[in-house]
């Protein structure tokens, strides 16, 4: 006979994994910003670059990936 699944434990493990992945993503984004020198740009310049990238990616979805 099969053991019943512990749904609460699985849910807690998935939530912990999601929390770790979000923290890792935030850390990697910070490293990317520093590596590209984007931390030295003004907010307006950075926003302009991001908007230009989005406009360019509208026609080429593979450019985003």
For the chain, first and last CA: distance in Å? 46
Count of beta carbons in the 10 Å neighbourhood of residue 8: 8
Question: What is the C-alpha separation between 25 and 32, in angstroms, rounded?
Answer: 10
DSSP label at 2? P
Q: Give Cβ neighbours of residue 52 (< 8 Å, ≥ 6 apart).
A: none
**Structure tokens, 8:** 């609460």
Q: What pTM was computed for the model?
A: 0.57
pLDDT in tens, the chain (65 residues): 788 889 999 999 999 999 999 999 999 999 998 998 888 888 899 889 889 888 887 777 665 55
């Amino acid at each position: 006979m099969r053991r019943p699944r512990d749904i609460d434990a699985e849910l807690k493990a998935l939530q912990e994994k999601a929390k770790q992945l979000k923290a890792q993503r935030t850390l990697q984004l910070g490293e990317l910003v520093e590596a590209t020198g984007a931390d030295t740009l003004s907010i307006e310049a950075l926003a302009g670059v991001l908007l230009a990238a989005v406009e360019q990616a509208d026609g080429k979805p593979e450019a985003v990936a």
